Amino acid sequence: MEREKLTKTTFSPGEILSDGRHAFITDGRGNADGLGVLIGFTSGNRLCRSSGVNNYCKSGKVYMPTKDEIEELFNAIRHEKDIPHYSCIP
């Protein structure tokens, strides 16, 4: 099933969205690099968190997450002992 791209230009902090592969929690801020991420998965499938405003952004299409994407994110957060900062991931 094809998902509709969200066209809303601003999102509320804490909203759960999807990049089409994984759910992420947005900090609600956007810039030229994309939409700010508070906690989410990198392109290498590592869970990480932002270490500051606009240092971790998702660019491209943004969707409403599926139930499976939300569950994947929540399970990763529950089971990760230490969620590293995005800037610390090689």
Residue 5 banded pLDDT, cuts 50, 70, 90: low
At 54 the pLDDT is 62
User: Are 9 and 30 within 8 A, CB to CB?
Assistant: yes
> What does the alpha-carbon distance between residue 28 and residue 13 come to, in Å, rounded to a whole number?
4
pLDDT tens-digit series, residues 22-81: 999 998 887 777 888 889 998 888 999 988 766 788 888 889 999 999 999 999 999 998
Q: Please report, for the chain, the start and end positions of each structural domain, with discontinuous segments joined by +.
A: 16-88
Buried b (16+ CB within 10 A) or exposed e, 18-50: bbeebbbbbbebbeeebbbbbbbbeeeeebbbb
At 14 the pLDDT is 92
At 29 the pLDDT is 83
pLDDT tens-digit series, residues 10-22: 688 899 999 999 9
